Structure 1
């Protein structure tokens, strides 16, 4: 960021500038500052606080070395009282060595360990630096160095060293009992005032105590206002204030927002193996959501506003959980505070990803310090419900057949001598830290992981389902057959909207699907072949200009999300039969403008897949799906004599819904007419469950009958709350001529009305930063009225759209 500011390099987010910045990682860098000695009284202490140094740093004050650090995730507090000069300016110098070179040296110095990495260099395992800095399959290689979190001076006589709250909740009575744990650094006994304010600002507890070093203060709340995830109740937050008082003067102050809730990971034997889902305050939660990667290559330029806007997209799309991925960072305080306020559950990985990590003593000491600091920082946030050891590290163990006898070897010391010493970190060190620093918190050894069984075992633990896109590149239509007890990663790539491509690629000649620059902004292996395969399997390709390419990739990503969330939410089932406990798409966001698995791009522009997830995770979601027994890419021509379909409704509501009306239509794609009589069902929708309306329903399909869409519509109190569509597969064999689409923008330019004479697949409106829609990527059926709210459409700006079968001509405009 400093080099960009001083015009020594161009921003690597654009074009292929990344390549011209590679030299930066091989250099050492020095930061210097002169500052005056702060005023202080006799007995005061002055410390310098480094919240984050990236990564191999040597710090000198007035020529004297005061710190050496090689872990960017650690905060340092250095007493510099005796080193400050009273007569003139002080000089602070921080030298940052090349992390790439130091990491290579660590690997060379430890030949006893087999450094294995998927993504980046194997050397990254030996250095506690954000692993994605070495490059990943969605982002650039940019080996940053510098001050990535604030540096400050503190002068004090007394200060809070730590304040934490430990509590237990009875979810039935809503009574809460706990202890406020106070640690102070003081020259003598400190007078501390504690106050706890309720969500409405009223005082519910206050106490004055004297603290020499630490004190534990019990408290009790009757019928507390509990904190619930989004969609399940209020996000009630109490305010804890702690003041150190000398006389009438407040010397130091700490304020914490605290939410009281009971979180459990339910792992019980059932007909499908062993369950894996989260329960909060006695309520089972289907954890529909997404995985989170850093929102920028350069963390300090992520504003609080961007954090809030990104996290609000989760609530907008009915997502209730995010997983902070283990190759990035322990996120900023702002991130967790917003999750608390919005009711977003956080699955927090420790920062280990896709590797076999060493376990020599100095490394373990650094990891333990890192883990303790960050658990202490996060433990008061009610949104943080689960800690996991890292990401896909047991993939490495399994792939390379590293020593792992889960059931037979329970001695942590023997793990250190094995070819997989990482087990010591994930199954001994980290759970010990979590248990000691945040008693009662949920810990899971890795993601994926399931009681030591193979990583794709779908009967236990969580899985990463990459047989779609990666692996055998299976059809996304069979996601429902591929899921596990909790699907913590899966995804399909798509290009961002044209506005993002034009902004990030300056040369118009490079704005086509197979250009070097377009490929450069897609770091996934074999990306063009995989995208092209899914497109050719499913869609008729008449043109591969940029608009068509963008449209087709976005449509298929949206379709993949539709099949995944629809199928796995059905498997949420009922109490005691929770076959699937959650689905977290890879990934919510991007670190730079790119073609990737993100559903919201770097500029916060939503892809159609975002809206597909929004529809599938609504509080009530109807679903209809015909069954298939043969190759999805060759299905339609077989024209079976009969088909079977299932119809169901998924609910996250806490109460039953009586007298729900489900309408079913069978609509000819060619004519737009109903080719079979409409059906109406009245049903009771069970609370927090998936309710089967019809199953294994057989339909006669004479060969002279048109191909048809099965269209389901759910009405509650005569209001349409959900729609779903099941189309013949694949789309490439269908004809979409003469659809009779009508799109109308009202006079206020705030609402779009949509109607059609014949079924339309995948109506996608063009989006850009500042232009927002309430829905996108729509299927449109004749006889139905659709409206989409639009905000930010400028005077004179054309609204553009494309749908399947029309994408080979220029987008329509209004």
Structure 2
């Protein structure tokens, strides 16, 4: 039997022409940006390089190996998988989370070992013998030069007063006579700083500039200001010996080259100026510290990013040697030797090569605390989906100072499901082997069904199952952003760091992504987008049980309390009107009230806290509460709240207990515009989780997972609709 793709040796061959003129260059290098991973390189039959690390580039002097005319380059790659197994035999097997353990001995992209990580959570294995542990080649170039700019290190420092220091360090390949130049250009092309005649003969050079506050435009995150990008242009030139040329050409050379000679190399960088800091504030009334990201002028900003490997959380789960108070040991003689890399090697390299803040890992608490500590550092909150599998309604009590990872799975668009089914109708049900093969998360089937059965009355028909997992994902993620970032009455955004572990998929799959492999957005894409607007409104309701006295258990009252808050991520306070409407789902009863509110700048603000209007106080557990849907709006007069309106609708959970009104009584309408490119939805009863679709080719919808209440029609743009009839799915549509 032939070996699989990942266990075979692979060879790549290429021929190229070199001219005699090119060979006259004083330096000729063959440059490999990335060779993945164990490679032997031969040029014209001569071994010139062996590699064992995908993440480093290689530059090989080949002037003496090249020949005028045709040259042959051969790259031979050993199986990184088999090589890793051989290396592993020479050492003790190391602990890891998943994937093949030999990967820990190979400097290769770890996701190729089917590592469940970030946006590549669900990378497929083709067959048991054909892992994705393959070989690959990055860009290769043949460079001819006399001297070149090896490195250009440009750094800036913005003080609290907003003045700027700019420095640049050149490193040249040769200590040869010549000159370098430096220019800083503003976005409009004007020159803000320059230096010429910088000698290159010692092999390196430095330039430095200072700017008073206001001389340079600072970079702000989107929503806080502009993002001006400056350009650094550098040049390395020969030194011209004018006395060696005739007087006839001397003046010409001076005018054209400015007493510099031939341009040998150039480098261009795009840079921006900002003051970015990570600050851990002491808390007066709580344990731990509030960890916040700071932008320019010490503005706390809300951040979305991609987290790193949890290489400390794993150590805790395996009970490795891990004394967090130890800040002096070498760690290489422990059973957690990688700690030397995280706490010794990497910080030293980062400090040497940049001014970037270094965080040891994610999650990581520091100050002697484990990674699960919610009062320090950053936290991966996977107790929704993984771990203790908490209800998504508990995000507010699961919050940490810096929640850096969380998520919920959901099926992709039904068209994507049908793509991987390949027309096999016998496999078109949720528990089919084909559907299972397109979800590589351990325990996914149990977890999906746990959250579905706890929250929805649902069907196992394929379209229905897709819909309910998507709404579950949409509700989970929206609730996370709403509650973790903006729990009511916080003086500052309570959790300013909420990254996605996965934005889109690397293959057609059911996953945590909010956009599938074919870039079809899931409903969660739209619910998260709504929660990331500059202004939002959030709600929660909780039941409070109060006993008559501390001796009795029989006499009590149950009150349903409503909390409403608004968030404002702009840098100015915002006046608005809060309108709250309540709808009894079992009757025609409605209630409406309003108040003037002020949203504090860059913060969440409590807007209301009290009893839910229309919900009687209960004295028995057997009393079923009324199903009351609450709609909260923020309205302004100047149009800043997008079309003057921000709305949020809330109903009691879990949804499975709700007896939805008959479809015929809803009065739901979907009116297609005259141009056939938008749909207006309206209703006489509150409706939850509307997802629009059509037969045939998909449509680019402007919104999905829509909550609709009476007297609040919603218009959704529908690019590609072309006037086709719209299908609507929603909770209580009779399909479950």
- Please give the TM-score of this superposition, normalised by the length of structure 1: 0.79
Counting only pairs closer than 5 Å after superposition, residues 235-634 of structure 1 correspond to structure 2 as 235-246=227-238, 248=257, 249-270=262-283, 271-272=285-286, 273-288=288-303, 321-323=304-306, 325=307, 390-407=308-325, 409-413=326-330, 415-439=331-355, 441-451=356-366, 452-509=368-425, 510-541=427-458, 543-571=459-487, 579-628=494-543
Partner of 1:130: 109
How far has the Cα of 1:107 moved from its partner? 1.4
Judged with a 3 Å threshold, the aligned counterparts in structure 2 of structure 1 residues 147 and 122 are, in CA distance, closer, same or farther, namely closer
**Aligned position for 1:13:** none
- Post-superposition offset of 1:456: 1.1
- Aligned-residue offset at 1:503: 2.4
Give the distance between the partners of 1:155 and 1:620, measured in 2 at CA: 56
Aligned equivalent of 1:61: 43
Q: Which residue of 1 aligns with 2:72?
A: 91
CA apart distance, 1:126 = 0.9
C-alpha offsets along residues 650-703 of structure 1, whole Å, 9 cap, x if unaligned?
Answer: 110110112x101011112234x344x311010111000001112244556236
- CA distance in 2 between partners of 1:85 and 1:41 (Å): 8
Structure 2 counterparts to residues 161-176 of structure 1, below 5 A: 161-172=150-161, 174-176=162-164
Secondary structure in 2 matching 1:470: coil
Residue 551 (structure 1) shift: 0.1
| 2:573 pairs with one of 651, 656, 659 | 656
CA contact (8 A) 2:184 2:191 kept: yes
8 Å contact kept, 1:642–1:700? no
The corresponding residue for 1:721 is: 645
Taking structure 1 as reference, are residues 80 and 655 closer, same or farther at Cα in structure 2, changes over 3 Å only? same
For residue 709 of structure 1, the aligned residue among 610, 626, 629 is: 629
Quote the residue 1:216 is aligned against.
206
Note the 1:106-125 alignment, pairs <5 A: 106-111=87-92, 114-125=93-104
Q: Aligned residue for 2:248?
A: none
Per-residue CA shift, 1:500-549, capped at 9, x if unaligned?
122233133223211111111100111111111111111112x3111001
Tell me the residue number matched to 2:604.
690
Contact 1:740 1:757 in 2 (8 A): yes
Match of 1:345 in 2: none
Q: Is the 8 Å Cα contact of residues 544 and 560 (structure 2) preserved in structure 1?
A: no
Deviation at 1:145, TM superposition (A): 3.1
Note if contact 1:643-1:701 (Cα within 8 Å) is conserved in structure 2: yes
Q: Who wins on radius of gyration, i.e. which is larger?
A: 2
- Kept in 1: contact 2:568–2:574 (CA 8 A): no
Provide, for residues 407-436 of structure 1, a one-character-per-residue CA deviation record: whole Å limited to 9, x for no partner. 1x33342x1111111111111111111100
Computed over aligned residues only, the root mean square deviation of the Cα atoms, in angstroms, reads: 2.3
CA distance in 1, matches of 2:522, 2:544: 31
Q: Deviations over 1:170-226 (max 9, x none)?
A: 243x32112111112236123212111112211111111122311110012332111
Matched residue of 1:100: which SS?
Answer: helix
Report the secondary structure of 1:268's partner residue: strand
> Contact 1:497–1:766 (CA<8 Å) still a contact in 2?
no
Structural mapping, 1:136-147, within 5 Å: 136=116, 137-141=121-125, 142-147=131-136
* Structure 1 residues 286 and 721, CA gap change in structure 2 (3 angstroms): farther
Q: Does 1:779 align with 2:693?
A: no
- Given that 2:677 and 2:723 are in contact with CA atoms closer than 8 Å, whether structure 1 keeps it comes out as no
Please give the alpha-carbon distance, in whole angstroms, between the structure 1 residues aligned to 2:517 and 2:300: 29
> Do the aligned partners of residues 705 and 42 (structure 1) sit closer, same or farther apart at CA in structure 2, a change above 3 Å counting?
closer
Q: Which residue of 1 aligns with 2:619?
A: none
Judge conservation of contact 2:384–2:391 (CA < 8 Å) in 1.
yes
Q: 1:245 and 1:792, CA in 2 relative to 1: closer, same or farther beyond 3 A? A: farther
Contact 1:182 1:216 in 2 (8 A): yes
Q: 1:476 to 1:629 in 2, by over 3 A?
A: farther
**In structure 2, do the counterparts of structure 1 residues 681 and 572 end up closer, same or farther at CA, with 3 Å as the change threshold?**
closer
Q: Does the C-alpha gap of structure 1 residues 628 and 243 become closer, same or farther in structure 2, counting only changes over 3 Å?
A: farther
What is the rounded CA distance, in whole Å, between the counterparts of 2:693 and 2:525 in structure 1?
14
Matched residues in 1 for 2:280 and 2:713: separation? 44
RCO comparison, higher one (Cα < 8 Å, 6+): 1
* Native 8 Å contact 2:175 2:200 kept in 1: no
Paired with 2:183 and 2:372, the residues of 1 have a C-alpha distance of 49
TM-score by length of 2: 0.87
Distance 1:743 1:283 in 2: 47
Q: What is the rounded CA distance, in whole Å, between the counterparts of 1:239 and 1:725 in structure 2? A: 47
The number of residue pairs the alignment matches comes to: 672
Q: CA deviation at 1:752?
A: 1.5
